[in-house]
Structure 1
Amino acid sequence: MKFRMGELFSGPGGLALGAKLAGFIDNTGEKWGFEHAWANDFDKDTVETYKLNILHDSDADTVFCEDVSDLPIGDKSILPDIDALAFGFPCNDYSNVGKQKGLNGIYGPLYSYGVKVMKYYQPKVFVAENVGGLSSANEGYALVKILEEFQARGYHITPNLYKFEEYGVPQARHRIIIVGIRNDLYEQGIHYHVPAQTTPDPKDMRTSQQAIEVPPIPINVPNNEMPNTTKRVVERLSYIPEGENAWYLGIPENLRLHVRGAKLSSIYKRLDHTKPAYTVTGSGGGGTHMYHWKENRALTNRERARLQTFPDNFEFIGSKESVRKQIGMAVPPEGAKVVMEAVLKTFAGIKYDSVKPTEKLQLKNLEKGNTPILKGLGK
């Protein structure tokens, strides 16, 4: 059975690739999977990356490069019916890095376009993704409002905080993913369960070194240009041990940064080769590009892409900074695969190992304005 999938805020294709990888054949010989119906993103380079890697430049007219407010949601001659909706609604206003404006920001209300798709298309299932900081935005009210609106559109929802390093992704990336099953299907016994972690033990987690070096990155692979590193940055990095950042006490005074706060940040932070990487981000100025555990340099975009579990043949389109942004904003395909495969197995009636969803994220346990309930989930 194929689920025709529509996407909003598709990014370069992390969720879409995860959905592709999730397909399987059951013991009756039936094929289960997702197939592309249409997608949308605002950024031109991101859309070109999606077309090249997800569609291999075919059906290019099904990917819309425009503001989501201009997307003709409901016009089924342009955006046909779908069985599944996937949307990683923009996280800028919910991230713990920044002012966390939440619903009051420019990006915060964009989840409502997902609600609009639910209204006009009533897909069987939706998968929505956002940062862990969503749980504390607007003193916890943002998450409550979003979950209530998803539920009001006729869906049984299962929010959960996924720690991707516990699912084989070589990166400590914590994201809230909300899976919604349409109520009539839920009442028929289609019940989604959170898939069990595949690498819950730290000693089994994929490390940054394993991701980057095993196998070695091939010569001439796309997006692997070495970064330009100034002599001063090289010298500063030479004093920073792996796992430490720009505030390491062993850095000579003349090479130290004199910036207030942020001492626990990732500024000029080296990877620890024995652990998963810290979170790959898509923006930030000097000192935020992620740094090799041994070599005195920032990572290449291909190395960042490996930490995000994109295959080496996945080519990102655009300038170095554009590619960096695309990689950092994406959903790790291998993480997405875990969720999308669980969705397919749910509909196929195939049992899989599961765990209880994050208790504090369930709507019945949320209290508007009560930040202590949500404390710590966004870390």
Structure 2
Amino acid sequence: MASSKGTAISLFSGAGGLDHGAEAAGFDVRAAVERNRDAAATMEKNFPRLASPVIQKDILETSTAEILRAAGLRRGQRPDLLLGGPPCTPFSKSGFWLEWKRSGLDPDATLLQEYTRVLREARPRAFVLENVYALTYDNRASRPALLRLLREIDEAGYDHRMEVLHAANFGVPQARPRLFIVGAPKGRPTPDLPVPTHGGSWERRSTGNRERPFVTAGEALDGLVCDPEPEEVLRGQYAPLLADIPPGGNYLHYTAERGHPDPRFEWRSRYWSFLLKLDPAKPSPTIQAQPGPNVGPFHWGNRRLRTAEVKRLFTFPDDFELVGSRASVQAQLGNSVPPLLARHVFVSVKRSLRA
């Protein structure tokens, strides 16, 4: 049965960051496709309005008809909303050191076409597609993929708007830019993208609404009580170095250019996130899905972040349950869209459906 609030179907659902934002904006996520076992279990624990269990299959093997049936839609019925974020590894900035990725040879890139296939066949009243902002880069991998995606959206009969939104500009205590593409059938009002509610300095430039400062990591974690985790202890040859790095600093603290009396590293010889420490007075830097052993951000208390803290920095509710090992939970959170950012997007989409 279709939802009176607006039936949404979710592709590449992950832990459900987009989905949580959609439900907060007044949609019911009724069907989801997610092949990862732990993420599918996380979805089922936190989204009671699902009409059927999560379709735990590869999208390449999942028909649109199966997805619509899982949502409780009868033949001829269309969903109100299609949402999803196809895996971003082909276009991720962190992967461009690989020649085959820069050349656009990653097979996962075809998953964008699975999204547009469902868009064309399901004919939703609106859609939201999310991805890494590196998809907008003018290189051999990203540019052709983006142009193809936009052409297929047009051929499916939809107009769209596209913008990179910075999560911290919307009250998320994390610097996390993401690409959003929203659209509606031609002839219907095209959804707007939301206007920033917060602002500040990011990458040496002003961004967002400066009249309302970014939410900081310190504000987000204030009052949070959570048990220590075995995985939080930093080990290895670089572990002792973390304690002397000031909040907001990284390995560059141990360079001659920063005046260290016993330099350990050459200037710009490591990734920025190497031994990176949170500054409680600023939003968290982007939290990765699979950080290396010395990759931050680390807590200003000289340890790894705990699960409850990562949830706060993504704006997941404290009672949101994640299934799997600590590494699996990190991947689920690190791959997710902050729910608060998603909610702002879906509120704008919901408004267009009422027009």
* TM-score interval for Structure 1 and Structure 2 normalised by the shorter chain: 0.7 to 0.9
Contact 1:37 1:82 in 2 (8 A): no
Query: What's the offset of the Cα at 1:212?
Result: 1.4
Report the 3-state secondary structure (helix = DSSP H, G, I; strand = E; otherwise coil) of the residue aligned with 2:28: strand
Q: CA–CA distance in 2 between the matches of 1:308 and 1:242?
A: 20
Contact 1:37 1:62 in 2 (8 A): no
What's the TM-score once normalised by structure 2's chain length? 0.85
Q: CA–CA distance in 2 between the matches of 1:49 and 1:262?
A: 38
Pairs aligned (count):
326
Name the structure 2 match of 1:210. 219
Query: What's the offset of the Cα at 1:348?
Result: 2.1
1:50-61 → structure 2 map (5 Å cutoff): 50-55=43-48, 59=51, 61=52
Name the structure 2 match of 1:329. 335
Report the 3-state secondary structure (helix = DSSP H, G, I; strand = E; otherwise coil) of the residue aligned with 1:287: coil
The amino acid across from 1:8 in the alignment is L
Match of 2:156 among 141, 144, 153: 153
1:229 correspondence with 2:234: yes
Root-mean-square deviation over aligned CA pairs: 2.4
Q: CA–CA distance in 2 between the matches of 1:298 and 1:230?
A: 10
Q: CA–CA distance in 2 between the matches of 1:116 and 1:139?
A: 19
Name the structure 2 match of 1:268. 275
1:126-152 per-position Cα deviation (integer Å, ceiling 9, x unaligned) = 100001100115262221111111111
Distance 1:5 1:237, change over 3 A: same
Contact 2:284 2:297 in 1 (8 A): no
1:183-194 → structure 2 map (5 Å cutoff): 183-184=186-187, 186=188, 190-194=189-193
1:196-219 per-position Cα deviation (integer Å, ceiling 9, x unaligned) = 110134561100111112xx2234
Name the structure 2 match of 1:132. 133
Name the structure 2 match of 1:283. 290
Contact 1:206 1:275 in 2 (8 A): yes
Q: CA–CA distance in 2 between the matches of 1:329 and 1:139?
A: 19
Contact 1:224 1:300 in 2 (8 A): yes
Contact 2:175 2:285 in 1 (8 A): yes
Unaligned stretches of 5+ in structure 2? Answer: 202-211
What's the TM-score once normalised by structure 1's chain length? 0.80
Contact 1:225 1:300 in 2 (8 A): no
Contact 1:135 1:142 in 2 (8 A): no
Q: Which has the higher contact order (CA 8 A, sep 6+)?
A: 1
1:71-94 per-position Cα deviation (integer Å, ceiling 9, x unaligned) = 122345456442210011111111
Unaligned stretches of 5+ in structure 1? Answer: 23-32, 350-379
The amino acid across from 1:146 in the alignment is L
Name the structure 2 match of 1:317. 323
Distance 1:242 1:4, change over 3 A: same
Name the structure 2 match of 1:92. 89
Report the 3-state secondary structure (helix = DSSP H, G, I; strand = E; otherwise coil) of the residue aligned with 2:114: helix
Query: What's the offset of the Cα at 1:62?
Result: 3.4
Report the 3-state secondary structure (helix = DSSP H, G, I; strand = E; otherwise coil) of the residue aligned with 1:204: coil
Name the structure 1 match of 2:307. 301
